[in-house]
Chains A and B, each alone.
Chain A
Amino acid sequence: MIEMDQKIAEQLSEVSLNSAIQVRCGTSNSFTVAASIIHPLITVFEMGGVYISASRAANEVIEGLEGIGISTEKIQFLDMVSSGIHGGTDTEYENVAYIDSPIMLESALLRTMYFMRTTTQERNFVFLDSVNALAIYNEERMLAEYLHTFVNTFRQRDVLSIILNVPDQTPPGVLANLDLYCSDLIDRGQIVIN
């Protein structure tokens, strides 16, 4: 059982719906950090949202979250990984949609907007996991442009955006732009695992 980072919940209580949070984590603690964010959003703030999984398959994320007792019922997953794997889009979960490739950035944006238009939840978040995974496939300038559009699109619609990234695997130009666009920072990038 992982131990949730309680300070993240405290920090989340101080942000508004139109905030854009940059979340810095390390390679080894990304799931713990993601879970520590999702948990209070669902249970304390009673939000729904979209989880864009570019790092790993949505099935894996769902199983990970459900495994530690976090309900994923109110989350719609957009899987940008599994279409690239033969048979990867077989799923038992109804709340998973697939995007053909991590290069189809606009599709992820439009699919998220589609879910925001159809959801009955009043307060929503969009969780992007992660910038460094998208950086594998997308050129630096395009990724920076995308994040600019992403943050502004959801800020305008009062949707809380949370952008996960591992700084040392993110292109410097993208990182600098994230600092500029995002209104808040949760920094868990320097954790030392004993």
Chain B
Amino acid sequence: MTTTSAAYVRDRCVTGIHGLDEILRGGIPYGSTVLAAGSCGCGKTTLGVEFLVRGAENGEACAHFTATEPSVKLLENIRQFEFFDMRMIDKGLINVFDMDVLYSWLGLTKSTFDLGDIHALIKAITDIVNTIGVTRLVIDSVTTLCYKIQSDQLIRDFLFTLGKRLSTLGCTTLLISEITSDKTRLNMWSSFGVEEAISDGIIVMGDVERMGHLLRYLQVVKMRGTQHSRAKYSVELTPIGVMLTPMLKWGAGHM
């Protein structure tokens, strides 16, 4: 007698972003903390917002913590995209929080955070996630946030604890990280060097220079729990969202 057992497949958070779910072979494993790292202007914020919009379209509660620009400015910039609907904010499907406001609520007025401050911040974020029932979260950017944390050890502790708690709550998280194009050339995917080790996945975004023009690309470098493509994909930011197609091999920027 023979027995057959079906291969175990992890449940996925379907991003809904054109082409990305195919790259990830179905989506991001639920509860993962994913670093979306990239240089300026490569589409990280748009990717993050679209990730939330696609979740909101399915009735998921989503949250966006903005540290790099005020939420008003973020929303003004993002309203130009057809895929974004302000009613998602009004209905409470997408909840936008200013990190500066959150710091004030918590009394974190110092220029740098110590261990106690970090744990207060983690508690505040996870309380919000838990109260609203957030299943998709974006922190834009974790780099700005980590500038307030003085040591690599504390940054590691902050991200590890935050990721673990969010995962326990079933929340799939995108941590937007700012890196310079020099770092991507050296295969470094984060500003402080510790974010990439803590994350379950790394999506790198950047520019390939071709005859004086910058072409946006996206590459999934790591995603625990899934057999994903590691190729470079060309990115176009269209009114209906991010669109991806494999970058031409002869034009992908050879080292």
List A residues at the B interface (Cβ < 8 Å): 100-101, 103-107, 109-111, 113-114, 117-118, 137, 139, 141-142, 145-146, 149, 153
> DSSP majority for the A interface?
helix
Contact A114 B250 (CB under 8 A): no
Residue B243 CB within 8 A of the other chain: yes
Contact B211 A103 (CB under 8 A): yes
Contact A106 B211 (CB under 8 A): no
Known A106-B247, A139-B250: A117·B234 in contact at CB below 8 Å: no
Q: Which of A103, A109, A110, A139: most chain B CB closer than 10 A?
A: A110
Residue B7 CB within 8 A of the other chain: no
Question: How far is B215's CA from A146's CA once the two chains are assembled, in angstroms?
Answer: 15
* Chain B 174-216: CB-based contact to A (< 8 A → 1; otherwise 0): 0000000000000000000000000000000000001101010
- Determine how close the nearest CB of chain B comes to the CB of A154; give it in whole angstroms: 12
- Determine how close the nearest CB of chain A comes to the CB of B237; give it in whole angstroms: 10
- Determine how close the nearest CB of chain B comes to the CB of A110; give it in whole angstroms: 4
Residue B240 CB within 8 A of the other chain: yes
Contact B211 A114 (CB under 8 A): no
- Determine how close the nearest CB of chain B comes to the CB of A19; give it in whole angstroms: 21
Contacts of B250 in A (CB 8 A): 139, 141-142, 145
Contact B234 A107 (CB under 8 A): yes
Question: How far is B213's CA from A100's CA once the two chains are assembled, in angstroms?
Answer: 8
* Chain B 240-255: CB-based contact to A (< 8 A → 1; otherwise 0): 1001111111110000
Contact B211 A149 (CB under 8 A): no
A-B contact pairs, 8 of them (CB 8 A): A100-B213, A103-B210, A103-B211, A105-B251, A106-B236, A106-B247, A109-B245, A110-B243
- Determine how close the nearest CB of chain A comes to the CB of B163; give it in whole angstroms: 32
Residue B238 CB within 8 A of the other chain: yes
Question: How far is B210's CA from A118's CA once the two chains are assembled, in angstroms?
Answer: 29
Contact among A110, A118, A137, A141 with B245 in the assembled complex (CB-CB below 8 Å):
A110
Contact B249 A145 (CB under 8 A): yes
Question: How far is B239's CA from A105's CA once the two chains are assembled, in angstroms?
Answer: 19
Which residue of chain A has its CB nearest to the CB of B244? A110
Which residue of chain B has its CB nearest to the CB of A110? B236
Contact among B210, B211, B243, B247 with A113 in the assembled complex (CB-CB below 8 Å):
B243
